[in-house]
Amino acid sequence: MLDLKLIREKPDFVQERLNLRNGDYDIQPILQLDEQWRKLESDRSQLQARSNEIGKLVGQKMKSGSKPNDPEILALKEEGNQIKARLSDLEPQEKDLKTQIDALLLTLPNLPHPSTPVGKDEAENVQVRQWGDEYKPRTEVLPHWEIGEKLGILNTERATKVAQTRFVMLLGAGAALERALIQFMLDQQIAAGYLEVLPPFLINTQSLTATGQLPKFADESFKCNEDDLWLAPTAEVPVTNLYRDEILSADQLPIYHCAYTPCFRREAGSYGRDTRGLIRLHQFNKVELVKLVHPSTSEQEHQTLVQNAEAILQALKLPYRVVELCTGDLGFGAAKCYDLEVWLPSAGTYREISSCSNFWDFQARRGNIRFKEAGQKGTQFVHTLNGSGLAVGRTMAAILENYQQSDGTVKVPEALQSYLNRAVL
Protein backbone atom coordinates (compact mmCIF):
# COMPACT_ATOMS: atom_id res chain seq x y z
CA MET A 1 0.00 0.00 0.00
CA LEU A 2 1.24 3.47 -0.82
CA ASP A 3 1.72 6.02 1.95
CA LEU A 4 -1.32 8.34 2.00
CA LYS A 5 0.87 11.12 3.38
CA LEU A 6 3.18 10.79 0.36
CA ILE A 7 0.21 10.96 -2.03
CA ARG A 8 -1.11 14.02 -0.20
CA GLU A 9 2.20 15.88 -0.06
CA LYS A 10 3.70 14.84 -3.43
CA PRO A 11 0.77 14.06 -5.72
CA ASP A 12 2.58 14.97 -8.94
CA PHE A 13 5.53 12.72 -8.07
CA VAL A 14 3.28 9.78 -7.20
CA GLN A 15 1.18 10.15 -10.36
CA GLU A 16 4.31 10.46 -12.49
CA ARG A 17 5.75 7.23 -11.08
CA LEU A 18 2.44 5.38 -11.48
CA ASN A 19 2.26 6.53 -15.11
CA LEU A 20 5.47 4.59 -15.80
CA ARG A 21 3.63 1.35 -15.10
CA ASN A 22 1.58 -0.64 -17.58
CA GLY A 23 -1.87 0.48 -16.45
CA ASP A 24 -4.20 3.42 -15.94
CA TYR A 25 -3.95 4.68 -12.36
CA ASP A 26 -5.47 7.92 -11.08
CA ILE A 27 -4.88 9.29 -7.58
CA GLN A 28 -7.37 12.19 -7.90
CA PRO A 29 -10.30 10.27 -6.31
CA ILE A 30 -8.08 9.53 -3.32
CA LEU A 31 -7.03 13.16 -3.01
CA GLN A 32 -10.65 14.33 -3.16
CA LEU A 33 -11.80 11.88 -0.52
CA ASP A 34 -8.78 12.71 1.62
CA GLU A 35 -9.66 16.41 1.53
CA GLN A 36 -13.21 15.64 2.68
CA TRP A 37 -11.91 13.28 5.36
CA ARG A 38 -9.44 15.82 6.76
CA LYS A 39 -12.17 18.50 6.79
CA LEU A 40 -14.45 16.21 8.80
CA GLU A 41 -11.55 15.25 11.07
CA SER A 42 -10.81 18.94 11.67
CA ASP A 43 -14.48 19.70 12.38
CA ARG A 44 -14.72 16.76 14.75
CA SER A 45 -11.54 17.81 16.60
CA GLN A 46 -12.86 21.36 17.04
CA LEU A 47 -16.24 20.11 18.26
CA GLN A 48 -14.57 17.68 20.65
CA ALA A 49 -12.39 20.47 22.01
CA ARG A 50 -15.46 22.67 22.55
CA SER A 51 -17.27 19.78 24.24
CA ASN A 52 -14.34 19.32 26.62
CA GLU A 53 -14.28 23.05 27.26
CA ILE A 54 -18.00 23.08 28.09
CA GLY A 55 -17.53 20.21 30.53
CA LYS A 56 -14.81 22.15 32.35
CA LEU A 57 -16.88 25.37 32.39
CA VAL A 58 -19.89 23.60 33.88
CA GLY A 59 -17.71 22.02 36.54
CA GLN A 60 -16.08 25.32 37.44
CA LYS A 61 -19.37 27.18 37.67
CA MET A 62 -20.96 24.45 39.80
CA LYS A 63 -17.99 24.64 42.17
CA SER A 64 -18.38 28.41 42.40
CA GLY A 65 -22.02 28.06 43.53
CA SER A 66 -24.11 27.92 40.35
CA LYS A 67 -27.21 25.77 40.48
CA PRO A 68 -27.90 22.97 37.93
CA ASN A 69 -31.00 24.82 36.71
CA ASP A 70 -29.35 28.22 36.32
CA PRO A 71 -29.92 29.58 32.79
CA GLU A 72 -26.19 29.77 32.05
CA ILE A 73 -25.64 26.14 33.11
CA LEU A 74 -28.66 24.96 31.14
CA ALA A 75 -27.44 26.83 28.05
CA LEU A 76 -24.00 25.24 28.30
CA LYS A 77 -25.50 21.79 28.71
CA GLU A 78 -27.78 22.34 25.72
CA GLU A 79 -24.81 23.37 23.61
CA GLY A 80 -22.97 20.28 24.84
CA ASN A 81 -25.87 18.03 23.86
CA GLN A 82 -25.98 19.59 20.39
CA ILE A 83 -22.25 19.02 19.98
CA LYS A 84 -22.59 15.36 21.04
CA ALA A 85 -25.37 14.90 18.46
CA ARG A 86 -23.20 16.51 15.80
CA LEU A 87 -20.24 14.31 16.77
CA SER A 88 -22.40 11.20 16.54
CA ASP A 89 -23.24 12.23 12.95
CA LEU A 90 -19.65 13.06 11.98
CA GLU A 91 -17.94 9.94 13.31
CA PRO A 92 -19.62 7.43 10.93
CA GLN A 93 -19.13 9.85 8.00
CA GLU A 94 -15.45 10.12 8.82
CA LYS A 95 -15.15 6.35 9.17
CA ASP A 96 -16.91 5.80 5.84
CA LEU A 97 -14.57 8.18 4.04
CA LYS A 98 -11.53 6.45 5.55
CA THR A 99 -12.89 3.08 4.39
CA GLN A 100 -13.33 4.44 0.85
CA ILE A 101 -9.79 5.83 0.86
CA ASP A 102 -8.30 2.54 2.08
CA ALA A 103 -10.24 0.61 -0.58
CA LEU A 104 -8.82 2.85 -3.31
CA LEU A 105 -5.30 2.63 -1.89
CA LEU A 106 -5.50 -1.17 -2.13
CA THR A 107 -6.00 -0.89 -5.90
CA LEU A 108 -2.82 1.12 -6.50
CA PRO A 109 0.42 -0.74 -7.32
CA ASN A 110 3.78 0.05 -5.81
CA LEU A 111 5.88 2.90 -7.16
CA PRO A 112 8.80 1.75 -9.32
CA HIS A 113 12.16 2.25 -7.67
CA PRO A 114 14.14 5.15 -9.20
CA SER A 115 16.77 2.69 -10.47
CA THR A 116 14.20 0.52 -12.28
CA PRO A 117 14.60 0.82 -16.08
CA VAL A 118 11.79 2.78 -17.73
CA GLY A 119 9.93 0.78 -20.38
CA LYS A 120 6.47 -0.13 -21.64
CA ASP A 121 6.58 -3.93 -21.53
CA GLU A 122 8.80 -7.03 -21.32
CA ALA A 123 10.44 -6.16 -24.65
CA GLU A 124 12.21 -3.33 -22.81
CA ASN A 125 13.52 -5.41 -19.92
CA VAL A 126 17.30 -5.23 -19.49
CA GLN A 127 19.60 -8.26 -19.46
CA VAL A 128 22.01 -7.97 -16.53
CA ARG A 129 24.11 -11.09 -17.05
CA GLN A 130 24.15 -14.50 -18.67
CA TRP A 131 25.60 -17.72 -17.30
CA GLY A 132 26.35 -21.25 -18.50
CA ASP A 133 26.56 -20.96 -22.27
CA GLU A 134 29.08 -23.81 -22.25
CA TYR A 135 26.38 -26.13 -20.85
CA LYS A 136 23.87 -25.53 -23.63
CA PRO A 137 23.12 -28.65 -25.72
CA ARG A 138 24.72 -28.52 -29.16
CA THR A 139 22.21 -30.83 -30.84
CA GLU A 140 18.46 -30.69 -31.31
CA VAL A 141 16.47 -31.96 -28.33
CA LEU A 142 12.87 -33.03 -27.71
CA PRO A 143 10.51 -30.78 -25.71
CA HIS A 144 10.46 -31.82 -22.07
CA TRP A 145 6.91 -33.18 -22.24
CA GLU A 146 7.82 -35.49 -25.11
CA ILE A 147 10.97 -36.90 -23.51
CA GLY A 148 9.09 -37.19 -20.20
CA GLU A 149 6.30 -39.20 -21.81
CA LYS A 150 8.81 -41.40 -23.70
CA LEU A 151 10.57 -42.17 -20.42
CA GLY A 152 7.24 -42.90 -18.72
CA ILE A 153 7.83 -40.34 -15.97
CA LEU A 154 5.26 -37.71 -17.00
CA ASN A 155 1.63 -38.15 -17.98
CA THR A 156 -0.84 -35.37 -18.73
CA GLU A 157 -3.67 -37.50 -20.12
CA ARG A 158 -4.30 -39.30 -16.84
CA ALA A 159 -3.89 -36.06 -14.86
CA THR A 160 -6.59 -34.49 -17.04
CA LYS A 161 -8.85 -37.49 -16.37
CA VAL A 162 -8.37 -37.06 -12.62
CA ALA A 163 -8.66 -33.26 -12.62
CA GLN A 164 -8.70 -31.20 -15.83
CA THR A 165 -6.25 -29.66 -18.28
CA ARG A 166 -3.17 -27.84 -16.95
CA PHE A 167 -2.43 -30.56 -14.43
CA VAL A 168 0.33 -33.15 -14.71
CA MET A 169 1.00 -36.59 -13.20
CA LEU A 170 4.58 -37.55 -12.36
CA LEU A 171 5.43 -41.23 -12.19
CA GLY A 172 8.38 -43.27 -10.91
CA ALA A 173 11.63 -41.43 -11.51
CA GLY A 174 9.66 -38.30 -12.41
CA ALA A 175 8.05 -38.17 -8.97
CA ALA A 176 11.41 -38.97 -7.38
CA LEU A 177 13.11 -36.19 -9.33
CA GLU A 178 10.47 -33.68 -8.16
CA ARG A 179 11.03 -34.68 -4.52
CA ALA A 180 14.79 -34.59 -4.98
CA LEU A 181 14.67 -31.09 -6.41
CA ILE A 182 12.54 -29.83 -3.52
CA GLN A 183 14.90 -31.33 -0.94
CA PHE A 184 18.00 -30.11 -2.79
CA MET A 185 16.66 -26.56 -3.03
CA LEU A 186 15.72 -26.48 0.64
CA ASP A 187 19.11 -27.89 1.69
CA GLN A 188 20.92 -25.25 -0.36
CA GLN A 189 18.90 -22.35 1.03
CA ILE A 190 19.08 -23.57 4.62
CA ALA A 191 22.87 -23.71 4.20
CA ALA A 192 22.71 -20.12 2.90
CA GLY A 193 21.11 -18.99 6.17
CA TYR A 194 17.35 -19.32 5.59
CA LEU A 195 15.13 -20.85 8.27
CA GLU A 196 12.76 -23.41 6.78
CA VAL A 197 9.03 -22.92 7.30
CA LEU A 198 6.25 -25.33 6.36
CA PRO A 199 3.24 -22.98 6.39
CA PRO A 200 -0.48 -23.67 5.90
CA PHE A 201 -1.43 -24.18 2.27
CA LEU A 202 -4.86 -22.60 2.88
CA ILE A 203 -4.82 -18.92 3.71
CA ASN A 204 -7.39 -16.26 4.60
CA THR A 205 -8.46 -13.13 2.73
CA GLN A 206 -6.55 -10.82 5.05
CA SER A 207 -3.30 -12.61 4.23
CA LEU A 208 -3.80 -12.33 0.47
CA THR A 209 -4.72 -8.67 0.86
CA ALA A 210 -1.59 -7.93 2.87
CA THR A 211 0.78 -9.28 0.22
CA GLY A 212 -1.13 -7.70 -2.66
CA GLN A 213 -2.92 -10.60 -4.36
CA LEU A 214 -6.31 -9.22 -3.29
CA PRO A 215 -8.39 -7.47 -4.34
CA LYS A 216 -6.79 -7.10 -7.78
CA PHE A 217 -5.99 -10.76 -8.53
CA ALA A 218 -9.01 -12.55 -7.08
CA ASP A 219 -9.70 -14.24 -10.41
CA GLU A 220 -6.19 -15.74 -10.40
CA SER A 221 -6.73 -17.71 -7.19
CA PHE A 222 -8.81 -20.69 -6.08
CA LYS A 223 -11.23 -19.99 -3.22
CA CYS A 224 -12.97 -22.44 -0.89
CA ASN A 225 -16.66 -21.54 -1.06
CA GLU A 226 -17.52 -22.73 2.45
CA ASP A 227 -14.80 -20.82 4.28
CA ASP A 228 -12.79 -17.62 4.15
CA LEU A 229 -9.87 -19.63 2.81
CA TRP A 230 -7.94 -19.66 -0.45
CA LEU A 231 -5.39 -22.10 -1.88
CA ALA A 232 -1.97 -20.49 -1.61
CA PRO A 233 -0.76 -19.09 -4.96
CA THR A 234 2.79 -18.92 -3.55
CA ALA A 235 4.50 -19.43 -0.18
CA GLU A 236 5.24 -15.70 -0.19
CA VAL A 237 1.73 -15.15 1.15
CA PRO A 238 1.61 -17.35 4.27
CA VAL A 239 5.28 -16.79 5.17
CA THR A 240 5.17 -12.98 4.96
CA ASN A 241 1.90 -12.97 6.91
CA LEU A 242 3.47 -14.84 9.81
CA TYR A 243 4.45 -11.36 11.01
CA ARG A 244 1.29 -9.44 10.09
CA ASP A 245 0.21 -6.86 12.71
CA GLU A 246 3.42 -7.32 14.69
CA ILE A 247 6.08 -4.92 15.92
CA LEU A 248 9.50 -6.54 15.75
CA SER A 249 12.62 -5.29 17.44
CA ALA A 250 15.36 -4.05 15.14
CA ASP A 251 17.74 -6.74 16.38
CA GLN A 252 15.35 -9.42 15.05
CA LEU A 253 16.10 -8.22 11.53
CA PRO A 254 16.91 -9.51 9.03
CA ILE A 255 14.54 -12.48 8.98
CA TYR A 256 15.20 -15.08 6.27
CA HIS A 257 12.76 -17.90 5.53
CA CYS A 258 12.59 -20.58 2.87
CA ALA A 259 9.47 -22.64 2.33
CA TYR A 260 8.27 -25.43 0.09
CA THR A 261 4.58 -25.37 -0.84
CA PRO A 262 2.42 -26.52 -3.69
CA CYS A 263 1.09 -23.43 -5.46
CA PHE A 264 -2.34 -23.05 -7.04
CA ARG A 265 -3.22 -20.54 -9.76
CA ARG A 266 -6.07 -20.26 -12.20
CA GLU A 267 -3.76 -18.71 -14.82
CA ALA A 268 -6.70 -16.55 -15.90
CA GLY A 269 -6.07 -14.91 -19.24
CA SER A 270 -3.27 -17.29 -20.18
CA TYR A 271 -5.28 -19.90 -22.06
CA GLY A 272 -3.70 -20.88 -25.34
CA ARG A 273 -0.22 -20.29 -23.90
CA ASP A 274 2.07 -23.11 -22.76
CA THR A 275 -0.74 -25.64 -22.85
CA ARG A 276 1.70 -28.56 -22.87
CA GLY A 277 4.29 -29.56 -20.33
CA LEU A 278 5.35 -28.13 -16.99
CA ILE A 279 5.55 -24.40 -17.66
CA ARG A 280 2.07 -23.07 -16.87
CA LEU A 281 0.02 -25.31 -14.57
CA HIS A 282 -2.85 -24.81 -12.14
CA GLN A 283 -0.84 -26.71 -9.49
CA PHE A 284 2.94 -26.71 -9.18
CA ASN A 285 5.60 -27.02 -6.52
CA LYS A 286 7.91 -24.19 -5.55
CA VAL A 287 10.54 -23.35 -2.98
CA GLU A 288 10.19 -19.71 -1.99
CA LEU A 289 12.65 -17.33 -0.34
CA VAL A 290 11.23 -14.57 1.87
CA LYS A 291 13.08 -11.79 3.65
CA LEU A 292 12.00 -9.14 6.16
CA VAL A 293 14.79 -6.60 6.47
CA HIS A 294 15.80 -3.18 7.75
CA PRO A 295 15.20 -0.47 5.11
CA SER A 296 18.87 0.54 5.22
CA THR A 297 19.97 -2.90 3.97
CA SER A 298 17.11 -3.49 1.56
CA GLU A 299 18.96 -3.05 -1.74
CA GLN A 300 21.92 -5.23 -0.76
CA GLU A 301 19.55 -7.89 0.58
CA HIS A 302 17.84 -7.90 -2.83
CA GLN A 303 21.10 -8.59 -4.64
CA THR A 304 21.90 -11.41 -2.21
CA LEU A 305 18.44 -12.91 -2.72
CA VAL A 306 19.03 -13.03 -6.48
CA GLN A 307 22.39 -14.71 -5.91
CA ASN A 308 20.77 -17.32 -3.63
CA ALA A 309 18.34 -18.23 -6.40
CA GLU A 310 21.11 -18.23 -9.01
CA ALA A 311 23.13 -20.64 -6.89
CA ILE A 312 20.59 -23.40 -7.51
CA LEU A 313 20.84 -23.03 -11.29
CA GLN A 314 24.61 -22.93 -11.12
CA ALA A 315 24.77 -26.04 -8.95
CA LEU A 316 22.57 -27.84 -11.48
CA LYS A 317 24.63 -26.40 -14.37
CA LEU A 318 21.54 -25.05 -16.11
CA PRO A 319 22.20 -22.10 -18.45
CA TYR A 320 20.28 -18.96 -17.51
CA ARG A 321 20.23 -15.21 -17.67
CA VAL A 322 19.25 -12.47 -15.21
CA VAL A 323 16.89 -9.80 -16.50
CA GLU A 324 15.93 -6.57 -14.74
CA LEU A 325 12.26 -5.81 -15.30
CA CYS A 326 11.32 -2.40 -16.65
CA THR A 327 8.61 -0.24 -15.09
CA GLY A 328 5.92 -1.49 -17.48
CA ASP A 329 6.58 -5.15 -16.66
CA LEU A 330 6.86 -4.93 -12.87
CA GLY A 331 4.56 -7.06 -10.74
CA PHE A 332 1.82 -5.22 -8.84
CA GLY A 333 3.66 -4.98 -5.51
CA ALA A 334 7.27 -4.81 -6.67
CA ALA A 335 9.39 -1.66 -6.64
CA LYS A 336 12.27 -3.50 -8.30
CA CYS A 337 12.49 -7.00 -9.74
CA TYR A 338 14.99 -9.35 -11.36
CA ASP A 339 13.81 -12.39 -13.29
CA LEU A 340 15.96 -15.49 -13.66
CA GLU A 341 15.27 -17.13 -17.00
CA VAL A 342 16.45 -20.68 -17.69
CA TRP A 343 17.44 -21.92 -21.15
CA LEU A 344 14.94 -24.28 -22.81
CA PRO A 345 16.72 -25.60 -25.91
CA SER A 346 13.65 -27.14 -27.57
CA ALA A 347 12.19 -23.65 -27.95
CA GLY A 348 15.56 -21.95 -28.38
CA THR A 349 14.68 -19.37 -25.74
CA TYR A 350 14.94 -18.46 -22.07
CA ARG A 351 11.90 -18.86 -19.80
CA GLU A 352 11.26 -17.36 -16.38
CA ILE A 353 12.08 -19.70 -13.49
CA SER A 354 12.27 -17.15 -10.65
CA SER A 355 11.17 -13.59 -9.97
CA CYS A 356 13.12 -11.88 -7.19
CA SER A 357 11.27 -8.79 -6.00
CA ASN A 358 11.91 -6.00 -3.53
CA PHE A 359 8.60 -4.57 -2.29
CA TRP A 360 10.12 -1.95 -0.01
CA ASP A 361 7.44 -1.05 2.57
CA PHE A 362 4.48 -1.75 0.24
CA GLN A 363 3.50 -5.14 1.70
CA ALA A 364 4.49 -4.12 5.22
CA ARG A 365 2.03 -1.20 5.12
CA ARG A 366 -0.76 -3.47 3.92
CA GLY A 367 0.10 -6.07 6.55
CA ASN A 368 1.11 -3.61 9.29
CA ILE A 369 4.53 -5.22 9.84
CA ARG A 370 6.75 -2.83 11.75
CA PHE A 371 9.93 -2.74 13.78
CA LYS A 372 11.27 -0.55 16.57
CA GLU A 373 14.81 0.67 17.05
CA ALA A 374 16.17 0.41 20.59
CA GLY A 375 15.86 3.73 22.41
CA GLN A 376 13.52 5.26 19.85
CA LYS A 377 9.85 6.05 20.38
CA GLY A 378 8.35 5.48 16.94
CA THR A 379 8.18 2.45 14.68
CA GLN A 380 9.08 1.90 11.04
CA PHE A 381 7.79 -0.47 8.40
CA VAL A 382 10.07 -3.34 7.46
CA HIS A 383 11.02 -3.99 3.85
CA THR A 384 9.87 -7.32 2.41
CA LEU A 385 11.53 -9.27 -0.39
CA ASN A 386 10.87 -12.63 -1.98
CA GLY A 387 11.84 -14.83 -4.87
CA SER A 388 11.49 -18.37 -6.11
CA GLY A 389 14.34 -20.59 -5.20
CA LEU A 390 13.12 -22.18 -7.57
CA ALA A 391 9.92 -23.14 -9.39
CA VAL A 392 10.35 -26.92 -9.26
CA GLY A 393 8.40 -27.95 -12.36
CA ARG A 394 10.22 -25.48 -14.57
CA THR A 395 13.53 -26.69 -13.14
CA MET A 396 12.56 -30.25 -14.06
CA ALA A 397 11.62 -29.11 -17.56
CA ALA A 398 15.04 -27.49 -17.94
CA ILE A 399 16.80 -30.65 -16.74
CA LEU A 400 14.83 -32.90 -19.11
CA GLU A 401 15.82 -30.72 -22.04
CA ASN A 402 19.37 -29.64 -21.19
CA TYR A 403 20.48 -33.09 -20.01
CA GLN A 404 19.10 -35.21 -22.86
CA GLN A 405 21.46 -37.87 -24.18
CA SER A 406 21.75 -39.22 -27.72
CA ASP A 407 20.42 -42.63 -26.62
CA GLY A 408 17.10 -41.11 -25.48
CA THR A 409 17.90 -41.05 -21.77
CA VAL A 410 18.33 -38.00 -19.55
CA LYS A 411 21.41 -37.60 -17.39
CA VAL A 412 20.79 -36.66 -13.76
CA PRO A 413 22.74 -33.50 -12.77
CA GLU A 414 25.67 -34.41 -10.55
CA ALA A 415 24.31 -32.32 -7.70
CA LEU A 416 21.15 -34.48 -7.62
CA GLN A 417 22.63 -37.94 -8.11
CA SER A 418 23.08 -38.59 -4.39
CA TYR A 419 19.43 -37.58 -3.81
CA LEU A 420 18.14 -39.94 -6.48
CA ASN A 421 20.73 -42.72 -6.16
CA ARG A 422 20.94 -42.84 -9.92
CA ALA A 423 22.83 -41.09 -12.70
CA VAL A 424 20.36 -41.53 -15.56
CA LEU A 425 16.61 -41.27 -16.03
Give just the sign of the alpha carbon dihedral 65, 70, 76, 81: positive
Please tell me the distance from the alpha carbon of residue 175 to that of residue 153, in angstroms, as a whole number: 7
Contact 167, 145 (CB under 8 A): no
Interhelix angle for 173-191 vs 298-315, to 10°?
A: 140
Residue 336's nearest CA partner among 23, 123, 112, 126 is: 112
Using DSSP bridges, classify how beta strands 320-324 and 169-170 pair: parallel, antiparallel or unpaired. unpaired
Give the number of other CB atoms < 10 A from CB of residue 417: 14
Under DSSP, the state recorded for 411 is B
Please tell me the distance from the alpha carbon of residue 284 to that of residue 396, in angstroms, as a whole number: 11
| Positions marked catalytic | 265, 280, 352, 355, 394
Query: Residue 111: is the preceding peptide bond cis (ω within 30°)?
Result: no
